[in-house]
Amino acid sequence: MKQKITIKTIAKELGVSTSTVSKALKDSHEISAETKERIQAYANYYNYKPNHLALQLRNQKTKVIGVILPKIVHHFFSTVIMGIEEGANLKGYNIMVCFSNESYKKEVETLKVLSNGSVDGIIVSIASETLENKDFKHFKELVSEEIPLVLFDRVVEDILCDKVVVDDVGAGYKATKHLLENGREKIALITTPNHVNVGALRRQGYEKALIESYIKTNKNIIVEIDEEKDIKLQIEKVFDYGIDGIFAVNEIYAANAMKLAKEKGNKVPEDISVIGFTDGLISEYSSPSITTIAQHGFIMGKQAVELLIERIDKEAEVYKPKKIVISSDLKLRESTKPSS
């Protein structure tokens, strides 16, 4: 990189001290008009830019927010990033994005790297492996170091920090209720293993809705997908039980299930109604397009970053961790309609 001009070089060239230059550039009243003029003209001419690193060191602020996501090639998470970035920019922050790739080890390492002072605060959605291990000491350590932390979507209650979540139970309930209201009674659930808490919560909503309609849950038509294995093969078996509705906790599962349903000779939505989660492009562009629960990832990201910056700004204060619950909406499309 080319030799950058610094306050020192300006000072030397103009025969003044660095303090004078610094003040002149800030338009301080301590400096005479003509000196200011000279210095500013020089700085401007040589395109002086203050060195960010030096400022960061001095201010003990980086104006950078760290973000750790389980993955990015995923509609929901990329939407959240957009929200975080917009919220951060509004307050003069930049974001440093890292991925855990759902791995516990990488999450721990990334957290360590980010907590060495490169960022003022961190936003995380927890990796599934970590959720499975139930090992959260890296987060607790962060909290005890008082580094501002906000968890979103995949959160864990006993980490004492701010959180932003969707109302997963309510959303699962809403989705199932919608199918029930369409006259569906044998509703398959395609969900994640139980350690992914969002899956577990949506399942609670599903079960709640069924109970309210006096329908017994049937374990045969509930599938917990193991993403290591072939998704379609795992879903397939539910079709042996004469189902008339499918609730999938994300859009990949929904699309797979719908495709299978069609392959098995069912018409969607006539024979089987399908409802998904995460209002992404797949749901929008598949045919029929899929009714989903929209998670409002953008809003989540923005709320998360606002919460975080608030915490950064009032670092001294003691506080009770806040939890923001974002409501989710039913987005009606072609894959659901009343049974005839």
Binding site for DNA (CB under 7 A): 4, 6-8, 15-20, 22-23, 25-26, 29-35, 48-51, 53-55, 57-58, 60
| Least gap, CB of 57 to DNA (angstroms) | 4
Q: Is 115 exposed, middle or buried (0-12, 13-18, 19+ CB in 10 A)?
A: middle
Between 47 and 219, name the residue whose CB sits nearer to its own copies. 47
- Helix (H, G, I), strand (E, B), or coil: what is residue 290? coil
Question: Which segment (15-23, 94-102, 204-212, 319-327) binds its own copies by CB under 8 A?
Answer: 94-102
Distance of CA 325 to the CA centre of its chain: 13
Taking only Cα atoms into account, the Rg of the chain, rounded to an integer number of angstroms, comes to: 26
Q: Is 62 in the site for its own copies (CB under 8 A)?
A: yes
**Pick from 42, 33, 48, 54: nearest CA to 13:** 42
Choose the stretch contacting its own copies; rule: CB under 8 A; options: 8-16, 28-36, 68-76, 209-217: 68-76
Query: Any contact of residue 1 with its own copies (CB under 8 A)?
Result: yes
Tell me whether residue 278 is exposed, middle or buried, using C-beta atoms within 10 angstroms of its C-beta: 0 to 12, 13 to 18, 19 or more: buried
Site string for its own copies, 193-232 (x = CB under 8 A): ----------------------------------------
Nearer to DNA, 23 or 203 (CB): 23
126 within 8 A of 107, measured Cβ to Cβ: yes
Minimum separation from the CB atom of position 214 to its own copies (A): 35
3-state DSSP assignment of residue 151? strand
CA atoms within 13 A on the CB side of 52: 6
90 binds its own copies (CB under 8 A): no
Does position 50 bind its own copies by CB under 8 A?
yes
Instruction: Provide the mask over 140-179, with x wherever binding to its own copies is found by CB under 8 A and - wherever it is not.
Output: -x--xxxxx-------------------------------
Between residues 149 and 198, which has the closer beta carbon with respect to its own copies?
Answer: 149
Single residue of 51, 133, 194, 220 touching its own copies by CB under 8 A: 51
In 65-74, which positions are buried (b, 16+ CB within 10 angstroms) versus exposed (e)?
bbbbbbeeeb
The position carrying tokens 């855990």 is 100
E-only strand ranges, 240-281: 245-248, 273-277
The CA distance from 250 to 254, in Å, is 6
Binding-site ranges for its own copies (CB under 8 A):
1-2, 4, 47, 49-54, 56-57, 62, 64, 72-75, 78-79, 81-82, 85, 94-99, 112-118, 141, 144-148, 252, 255-256, 259, 262, 280-282, 285-287, 315
